[in-house]
Amino acid sequence: MKTAILVPARLASTRLREKMLHEVKGKPVLQLVAERIRNQAPELPLYFAVDDERLRELLAQAGFEAIMTDAAHSCGTDRIAEANRAVGADNVINVQGDQALVTGAQIRSLAALIEGDAEMATLGTPLEVYAKFNQRSAEDVYNDPGDVKLVCDSQGNAIYFSRAPIPYFRDFNGGYDAASAAACPVLVHLGLYAYTAQFLETFSSLAPGGLETAEKLEMLRATEHGYRIAVGISDDPYIEIDTLDQVRDLERYLEKQPQGPETA
């Protein structure tokens, strides 16, 4: 099997209790995401890596295949590494279980990146684009630790991910400047990834480093150990579901779509 989508999903969640089972427009978040992925990228095999029988049963009833994984995993990448030992894909695309607006274009962009010479790939969206879609100011996003910022080298590889406002615009005393951010450019990281199967196994064997521990960002485990992460750019709408406010944002967005979330 060349490339497959693996979705890590755990029942416990910090900011929104049992988020995967929380209903949005009458469906649990995880089922909404599953249906979205199948509609947007039907050409790719789809599996779920779960840690609770309730999630497995939900997916099975909706017609999706789920693999039970160790509840002790500290991050989604470790969880899908375990699941892929059963699936056997050469390349794995990781869509988070709360990404109800993931698009086929995003998935195919990751597939193309990982079929090149990258060991790992991810996506970012220009900060101004992300802010506009979420009806927030760019300055607010830049300074919000909940929005992970990403800067790349001239070859499109990640230099650093941070919850802090990076880079620091010295000419503006560290404040946000649109022209400076466009020149860098500053990206907001989207929690979508791709890996080779070999790198998945390598990643799961690496100890979290000081940067990952400090920022609580698993991507830094790869960069801290010297691995390259290729970055694709996406302008597609993006909402992760971590809070009730984000649930309401998603519901408002879906209500504006004439045929529901599958065609959003």
Q: What is the DSSP letter of 80?
A: H
Cβ–Cβ contacts within 10 Å for residue 154, how many?
5
The tally of CA atoms less than 13 A away on the side-chain side of residue 51 is 20
Task: Decide the pairing of beta strands 149-152 and 120-126.
Answer: unpaired
Instruction: Tell me the sheet residues that pair with 28.
Output: 23
Query: Residue 237 — very low, low, confident or very high, per pLDDT cuts 50/70/90?
Result: confident
- What pLDDT sits at residue 59? 96
- Quick one: what percent of the chain has pLDDT higher than 70? 97
pLDDT above 60: residue 139: yes
For residue range 58-96, list pLDDT tens digits in order.
Answer: 999 999 999 999 988 878 888 999 999 999 999 999 999
Q: Write the CB contacts of 248 (distance below 8 Å, at least 6 apart in sequence).
A: none
DSSP helix/strand/coil, 154: coil
- What pLDDT sits at residue 255? 84
For residue range 4-41, list pLDDT tens digits in order.
Answer: 999 999 988 777 888 899 888 889 999 999 999 999 99
Query: Residue 258 — very low, low, confident or very high, per pLDDT cuts 50/70/90?
Result: low
- What pLDDT sits at residue 160? 97
- What pLDDT sits at residue 9? 92
For residue range 88-136, list pLDDT tens digits in order.
Answer: 999 999 999 899 999 999 999 999 999 988 899 999 999 999 999 988 9
Query: Residue 222 — very low, low, confident or very high, per pLDDT cuts 50/70/90?
Result: very high
Fold of 103-190+198-238: Spore Coat Polysaccharide Biosynthesis Protein SpsA; Chain A (3.90.550)
Domain 1-101 listed as CATH 3.90.550.10: yes
pLDDT above 60: residue 209: yes
Enumerate the CATH 3.90.550.10 domain ranges in the chain, comma separated. Answer: 1-101, 103-190+198-238
**Average pLDDT of the residues in 159-186:** 94
Across the chain, what does the average pLDDT equal? 91
CA–CA gap between residue 103 and residue 185 (Å, rounded)? 23
- What pLDDT sits at residue 251? 86
- What pLDDT sits at residue 1? 66
Encoded amino acid at 115, one letter: E
- What pLDDT sits at residue 261? 44
**Average pLDDT of the residues in 158-165:** 96
- What pLDDT sits at residue 264? 42
CA–CA gap between residue 166 and residue 149 (Å, rounded)? 7
DSSP helix/strand/coil, 68: strand
- What pLDDT sits at residue 114? 95
